[in-house]
Homo-oligomer: A and B are copies of this chain.
Amino acid sequence: MQGSRMAELKIPARVLMGPGPSDVDPRVLRALGMPLLGHLDPAFLAIMNDIMEALRSVFRTANRLTLPVSGTGSAGMETLLVNLLEPGDRALVVVQGLFGQRMVDAARRCGAETHVVEAAWGEAVDPAAVERALGQIPGNVKLVAVVHAETSTGVMQPIPPLADIAHRAGALLVVDCVTSLGGCPVEIDAWGVDAAFSGTQKCLSCPPGLAPITLNARAEEAVRARRQPVQSWYLDLTMVMSYWGQERVYHHTAPISMLYAFREALQLVLEEGLEHRFERHRTGSQALAAGLEAMGLELLVTRESRLPSLTTVTIPAGVDELRVRRELLQDFGIEIGGGLGPLKGRVWRIGTMGYSCQEKNIILLLTAMEQVLRRQGQEIPPGAGAAAADAVCASRRPRA
């Protein structure tokens, strides 16, 4: 090929309302584009320290071992499992969707005897079922893993009861917070979570490429007490933490630019304040739900289990769902997501995450949805955008 003939890079304008990545604040884009520093430059080490400290605030933890792994969210999952599990260990994974299934797959690749407790896709698991499943496993269970915000279904799983159950069984609780961190309360210390991972490209509104993790002293001790080396060299926390810690021992070259961006994204989260940010996500998802219901659409998940960052909408009979998504993208520049696994072709996944979670985006999306569904002969009552705007206004606190 004649590569020099590649066209100039041009990026079409989008409003990202799928399951992630979300839109990114221009301040974060500006940070991304700053000139490079070396990965051992004192000015860069200061940036790493700022990130760890801000990340502790966002995870609401005092855990020393709190840092972003140099890979996307799935690398965070893998980091926790390969460091905490080794052949002969037993694990119990709660599965209520695709991302729970992934943890089963990854735990088995660690050589762990991996048990599963399932809930239907679209529902949270009953803590009593987890307790029963744990009781039926002969021998010690080293860890229980669960997804807090299941991105494939839009379900929120309450964590504190599972922490109690895991701890009574002497197991560590590992939590996937990819689609919750920065969008709804994640209380690592108060909930008793032993280890958690997230991604940057959801409610934190930073580009994909980093996986924030946190491990408490108990989980850290489990890593140190391993009988065998971690099977991954790249994700071996005993080495990664020497670089992020006092020692600053070179392990791999940190993704400098992504870390600039992440510092700025965390700064934006802290400037907004976590409580205000959670409320913005709550309000946004309620407005979206009001609009979708005004259009006569049904939501997959009950109100109590619904995520504020991701809404799953049942696709009405007779609708060509791919055409809907294609027209939203082509005609309105809006991205939403399709279903995964058993929900493929059955739901859309609409994100209201981070910088994307703005009233103007929700109103635009609803108006565009009305339009493209009508093109397929669906009888959609008008006024979804207005219903959403009403919901936003109703939820707003009186202003001074």
Contact = CB atoms under 8 A, between A and B. Distances in A.
Interface residues of A, number: 87
Contacts of A257: 32, 207, 209, 257-258, 261
A74 interface: yes
A72 interface: yes
Interface stretch (A14-22, A117-125, A142-150, A168-176): A14-22
Contacts of A57: 1, 3
A269 B31 CA distance: 25
18 contacts: A3-B54, A3-B266, A4-B273, A6-B54, A9-B31, A9-B260, A11-B43, A12-B37, A18-B38, A24-B36, A32-B32, A38-B335, A71-B234, A74-B253, A78-B232, A110-B231, A201-B256, A209-B258
A233 B41 contact: no
Contact of A35 (B23, B34, B71, B209): B23
A1 B32 CA distance: 25
Nearest to A7: B50
Interface stretch (A101-109, A292-300, A305-313, A381-389): A101-109
A207 B109 contact: no
Closest 4 CB pairs of A and B: A33-B33, A3-B270, A209-B255, A207-B257
A251 B74 CA distance: 9
A263 to B, nearest CB: 6
B232 A21 contact: no
A269 B37 CA distance: 22
Given A3-B57, A70-B72, A233-B74, A36 B253 contact: no
Nearest to A257: B207
A233 B36 contact: no
B50 A6 contact: yes
